[in-house]
Amino acid sequence: MRRYLVVLMLIFPMNLHAKSDSPENLLGRYLDHIDNSRWDQIHSLTYPPDIENLKQLILRIIRFENQFEESRVQQIIFGEKVSNEVAAQRDSFFYLARSLEQLALALRQEGFELKGHEVVGDVKEGRDRIHLLTRITLEQGGRTIDNMQIYSFQRRDRQWYMELQPSITLLLELVEHRYEMQK
């Protein structure tokens, strides 16, 4: 009986850890953190190279903005115009949190409220990458809106991470492209 309890005690925590690390549960935590404005929690769920790439993209835009005497992205991220040096001193988690915070703020200002999500399918790319087709349910002004999204996940060092949504970086890449065309 004692051996049985020891085995159960060893297996139970492993199952809990494996379950909480699944892409489906990671997505639930990610959306919960966004919905409840827990920006400091997001970085641990996000694929590390994506976080660093986001920072580098924003830093390139800030350099362009300073070159052309503009500050739109700086106003969004910092609330003021900043030097290239000040911008470079911030860590990549700061840029991730501020970007997601601003997207969530824009949705809230338009009256959108997250009501839930449901994973309706998945596509596996080998053992270490999966895409979840997810129905996101939003409410705006009393009407319910279902929006289908694809969330991608990478496993690194036996831990799942959520990749940044392409829409987050796409807008910033368009801003960067506009500045490159002005050169």
Stated pTM of the model: 0.82
Instruction: Please compute the mean of the pLDDT values over residues 1-21 and round it to a whole number.
Output: 36
Taking only the tens place, the pLDDT of each residue in 88-146 is 999 999 999 999 999 889 889 999 999 999 999 999 999 999 999 999 999 999 999 99
Residue type, 167: S
3-state secondary structure 20-63: HCCHHHHHHHHHHHHHCCCHHHHHHHECHHHHHHHHHHHHHHHH
Q: 163 by DSSP, 3-state: which? A: coil
Residue 171: band (very low, low, confident or very high) from pLDDT cuts 50, 70, 90: confident
For residue 10, pLDDT over 70 is answered with: no
For residue 53, pLDDT over 90 is answered with: yes
Residues β-bridged to residue 149: 134
Nearest CA among 132, 136, 123, 52 for reference residue 94: 52
CA 112/CA 139 separation, integer angstroms: 6
pLDDT of residue 110: 93
CA 161/CA 93 separation, integer angstroms: 14
CA 49/CA 43 separation, integer angstroms: 11
